[in-house]
Amino acid sequence: MSILYVPNSIGLQNFESIFSKNSFNFNDGNVAIQFHPSYVAMHPMGIAFYAALGDYFLLHSIKTSATINYQIRSIPYLQRMGFFGGLGYGNPVATVEHEEAGRFIPLTKIKTNEELETFMKNIDPLLHTSRETSRVIKHVFSELLRNVLEHSQATNGGNVCASYNRNRKKISIGISDAGIGIYNSLRHYHRLNSSLEAIYAALTPGISGTTARIGGTEENAGAGLFFTKCIAKSTRNLLVIYSGDASFKLRATPKRKPIQFYPDPRQDHKTVRDRLPYFQGTLIGIDIFIEDTETFNNLMVEIGAAYRLGVKKQKKDYYKRISFT
């Protein structure tokens, strides 16, 4: 029987904790889910991750069993966020549910454009900020979830959840799917040799899974993850992407350094890893401070300029590689 171990803490900073005692090899068709015995603190990214594993188990008819200490203090939070339901279980303890509006968005399944539109209308109470900043954050949700619907080929759609920290004025987002992953989505139109190369390509302006054309198409310009990375960077926050056997973690820009938007993700302050336990699908986690800073207010203009510069450079490099005989 395979083991799926849930550690005591999963955040963007310590994202690598999900690999503790785990190989994510479930080929024997039976999985025992084990929880840290004392406490489980989990960023929405973690909740979305286990929901994607739940989708994988369902898709491949994998049987699971779970063992948990009912005294873990974070169980009510995990229940309210939909964690146990994402793994295919009912809630382990009885709790009084409070209104989530303005505090969090529990795990939500997105399978259609209509469900995406409904979700986008329902997230406004979570965005305690100006209309312009709200528009930017909703852009993140829309772009990431559209990528799931258009490229992941996930039978069970995508998973999304979010929470709001009022004291820090920070919104945390987790999005996942159990689809084909970034590498398989991009390799039909782009020369890629690994999951890490695919993540770099997905973060590069103008690279799309719908065409080999630099700059994408009118419907898909290859800007979603690039915009998302820039939004995280603009508030000196983190972004994590995990797909296949590789991960990319954008690290927070120190306060003493100016914020710069690099079209090439290799230039970013980051941590990358490959040869990780293989994850069939894609996981994205992001934190955003929603204070109306000057950087945030000018964000769309600055990101647009960086995107155009990146596409121009991609086209230039592409034509340099062409040889005429």
Average pLDDT, the chain: 84
Contact 35, 6 (CB under 8 A): yes
Residue 194, C-beta contacts closer than 8 angstroms, at least 6 positions apart = 183, 244, 245, 246, 274
Reply yes or no on whether the pLDDT at 319 is more than 80: no
Q: Please name the amino acid found at residue 132.
A: E
Calculate Rg over the CA atoms of the chain. Answer: 20
Across 154-168, 189-203, 252-266, 293-307, least confident range: 293-307
| 325 has pLDDT over 70 | no
How many alpha carbons lie under 13 Å from residue 209 in its C-beta half-sphere?
22
In this model, does residue 59 exceed pLDDT 70?
yes
Q: Give the rounded distance of the alpha carbon of 215 from its chain centre.
A: 23
- Please tell me the distance from the alpha carbon of residue 211 to that of residue 253, in angstroms, as a whole number: 33
* Predicted confidence (pLDDT) per residue in 97-150, tens digit: 655 556 889 999 999 999 998 888 878 777 777 777 777 778 778 888 888 898
CA 114 – CA 100 distance, rounded (Å): 22
At 219 the pLDDT is 41
- How is residue 106 written in tokens? 């529990």
pLDDT confidence of residue 314: 52
Least confident of 87-96, 246-255, 267-276: 87-96
Phi and psi at 3, nearest 5°, equal: -115, 130
pLDDT band at residue 307 using 50, 70 and 90 as cut-offs: low
Going from the C-alpha of 159 to that of each of 55, 162, 179, 280, the distances in angstroms are: 9, 11, 11, 14
Domains of the chain: 101-321 (3.30.565.10)
Q: What are phi and psi of 281, to 5 degrees?
A: 140, -160
DSSP code per residue over 114-143: HHHHHHHHH-GGG--S-HHHHHHHHHHHHH
pTM above 0.85, yes or no: yes
Torsion-angle region of residue 324: left (phi > 0), alpha (psi -120 to 50) or beta? beta
Among 114, 282, 146, 132, CA closest to 216: 146
- Strand order of the β-sheet with 170-177 is 104-110, 158-165, 170-177, 279-289, 239-244, 246-250, 270-273
Question: Given a cut of 70, is residue 52 above it in pLDDT?
Answer: yes
> Can you give the pLDDT at residue 268?
95
Average pLDDT over residues 232-239: 91
Percent residues over pLDDT 90 in the chain: 54
Please give the pLDDT value at position 295. 58
